[in-house]
Amino acid sequence: MSVRTPVARPAAAPRARRGAAASRPAAPPQLTLLNRERSILEFNRRVLAQTLREDVPLLERLRYVCIVSSNLDEFFEVRFADVLEAARLPDSGITAREMASVVEDAHALIRDQYSAFNDVVMPALKQQGIFILNHAERDAKQRAWVDAFFQAQVRPLLMPVSLDPSHPFPQVANKALNFIMKLGGRDAFGRENRIAILKVPRVLPRVIRLPAELCKPGEQVFVMLSSVIRAHLAELFPGREVEVFSQFRVTRDSDLEVDEEDVANLRQALRSSLSTRHFGRAIRLEVVSSCPDELTDFLLQQFELPEAALYKVNGPVNLVRLNQLIDQVDDSVRPDAAAALRFPPFEAGWPAELPRGGQGGSIIATLQQRDVLLHHPFQSFDPVVAFLREAVHDPDVLAIKQTIYRTGSESVLMELLIEAARRGKEVMAVVELKARFDEEANINWAERLEAVGAQVVYGIVGLKTHAKLMLVTRREAGEHGPLLRHYAHLSTGNYNPKTARLYTDTGFLTADPAITTDAHGVFQQLASQTELPTPRCLLLAPQHMHARLIELIGQVAAAARAGVPGARMVIKVNALTDPAMAHALAAAGQAGAQVDLIVRGACMLPPGLPGLSENVRVRSVVGRFLEHTRALWFCWGPGEDEQQLYLSSADWMSRNMLRRIELAWPVRDPALRRRVIEECLSLYLDDSLDAWQLGADGRYQRIEAAEGQAPRSAQRRLMRALGA
């Protein structure tokens, strides 16, 4: 692949005003930032748009529907829950009008999601012989099979509750499937208790595939668990009439509230809190569109929710569970249609610089000669595993240190750390216990590591450890006797081989003494909490990353103000919501610097406003893989020594910069720097298939290829260039 540096456009912008210190520049006049929550919903609109693309295989389009549901669950559980909490404070600055606007956007997005599911995706799947049948659509044999399935595997687990003073409204778990029924007649004791609740156990599959013998040739038939239960509700109340009913699902605030300053053992406190996570304050109520008002009013009252928190949906109340259908579809039923159903298989490439396992050679020996850049998922994550495995089995490796944020409940990397400790190596693991929704897995790994003698710490009180860092210390022969040498792996993504096949990220293997010495200092600080000298190469949050990045923005702005040609920045992150950084970027644009932002998700900086942000352009890329790479390029002159390129674990959000342990590291090798600029920035600025352009009003428009040109996809080009 050729290396091509993006060409700077001519600068033509008013001079920026002189303002406050570099770390907190004055906001450009009249620049109003975009609403963060609406920006998050806009990102999900871009994801939903994938379901309408005819060049995306059908099951993948259904998967995007599921992804939107999963994203919205987290939005309500975490983001919107935080906004509601903040809005209760008198000085929050959050107006009722803003809240209403966010709620209106959420309702509109969910309506469009179900419309895409019902009117586009499911009809297209039917054409490929894939059906989800309700009770009325099932034939006699299918109904008989469903009835047998219900009697044998579902009914024994169901326990409906009729409400009365001695049977109060049950505790309903977060995101669980439930039914509410209004009953006619009298119960076994002659009373007219009218409302019943049925909680559906999580252990039951939400999507059930019918046997092939019950389907026509070339067809695959599925039924939803909710449909199975709905068809048999009357059997649960013999002697009574089920007059009306509805599925429902409540989304709750799922942040774990633990006062780290007031607990003696954070791990034990979090484990105790996990049991209550599913029963936090209700935030959203979902019911089917046919649910009568009297039942919705009753549920809203029970969960103490306003009417705006009610979402009536035209279909299953939990589309996330349709991932089970995607996993059960058998491509061999219609081999001719397989290409229309799924993305073609992709095999990640192995970097040519590194020896492959079983073919001799040493990764550590390679790092003694050069740094190695890994670009996932286009290149395999296996070299990271191989690097750690080599360190574990190398008798000259004395110590291994690693941060653990999201590694999964099953992890070859964690098993290797346990093996290293068993072999007598010094193992230190910095486990982030408050990695949202991964707390239980991380607690379990922490306990297993401690059991074999590894040193386990939980970072710094009040700060999440989000940095992705591994350090190997090896005893080697030196000119004046044995010496200790460090080898490091730094990453923009998690130590999780599964997500490394789905997310775009960069990994960096190095023996550079400046970087590895800084990395050693980071681990020392996380363990001892001792103040250390400012790192020579690494940018560390919360200490100085924020101020240094704003300083670099100011350096580019100063060059533009002085008329230096080519003063520009290209920033690729997942989110830009830190006000100080957004204002600094706008001010740099006012000074004449060209600013290109590639922001996957929420971006609060409105581009293209005359006199304010007209030199700022913002694009978002949504493709086959989830964009997760963070690459930061600052250029204040034409020379190699007049630019700085960082890779980073941190998004440009206030929480990342000020309330987390984060790292950014420089790419100092000119060839690797050009490669990052090409692969992570240039190709994405040239994307005309998966890219969207942000407008000053906060809305996005898909970028179209120029007339006469074929659309270009950064991800597809990287798959061709770097794949096996």
List of residues 6+ apart from 167 with CB closer than 8 A: 161, 193
CA–CA dist 398, 26 (Å, integer): 50
What contacts 451, CB < 8 A, 6 or more positions away? none
Name, in order, each residue with C-beta under 8 angstroms of 424's C-beta and a sequence gap of 6 or more.
Answer: none
Residues 628, 375: Cα–Cα separation, whole Å: 11
* CB-CB contact of 651 with 575 (8 Å): yes
Residue of 375, 466, 489, 546 marked catalytic: 466
Cα separation of 266 and 274, whole Å? 12
466 is catalytic: yes
Specify burial of residue 216 (Cβ count, 10 A radius: 0-12, 13-18, 19+): exposed
Tokens of 511: 């023996």
Nearest to 489, CA basis, from 519, 469, 511: 469
- In terms of DSSP bridges, do strands 397-404 and 426-431 run parallel, antiparallel, or are they unpaired? parallel
CB of 681 within 8 A of CB of 574? Answer: no
From CA 690, how far away is CA 692, in angstroms rounded? 7
Query: Which of 384, 363, 333, 659 has its CA nearest to residue 505?
Result: 384
Q: Which two tokens stand for residue 53?
A: 């693309």
> What are 111-114's contacts with CB under 8 Å, separation 24+?
112/45, 112/48, 113/48, 113/65, 113/68, 113/69, 113/319, 114/313, 114/314, 114/315, 114/319
Please, which residues bridge with residue 634 across strands? 569, 644
Cα-Cα end-to-end distance for the chain:
15
Taken in order 221, 222, 228, 231, is the CA torsion positive or negative? negative
**436 belongs to an annotated ligand binding site:** yes
- Is 267 annotated among the ligand-binding residues? no
94: which residues sit within 8 A by CB, 6+ positions away? 83, 86, 87
Residues 6+ apart with CB under 8 A from 335: none
Confirm whether residue 503 is marked as ligand binding: yes
Helix axes 545-561, 579-590, angle to 10 degrees: 10
Q: Would you put residue 203 in left (φ > 0), alpha (ψ -120 to 50) or beta?
A: alpha
The answer to the question of whether 600 is labelled as a binding residue is yes
Q: CB of 8 within 8 A of CB of 556?
A: no
| CA nearest neighbour of 446 among 474, 411, 472, 471 | 411
* Tokens read off for 378: 């286009």
User: Residues at the annotated binding site?
Assistant: 71, 406, 436, 503, 600, 628
> Which positions are catalytic?
466
User: Residues at the annotated binding site for ATP?
Assistant: 71, 503, 600, 628
User: Residues at the annotated binding site for Mg(2+)?
Assistant: 406, 436
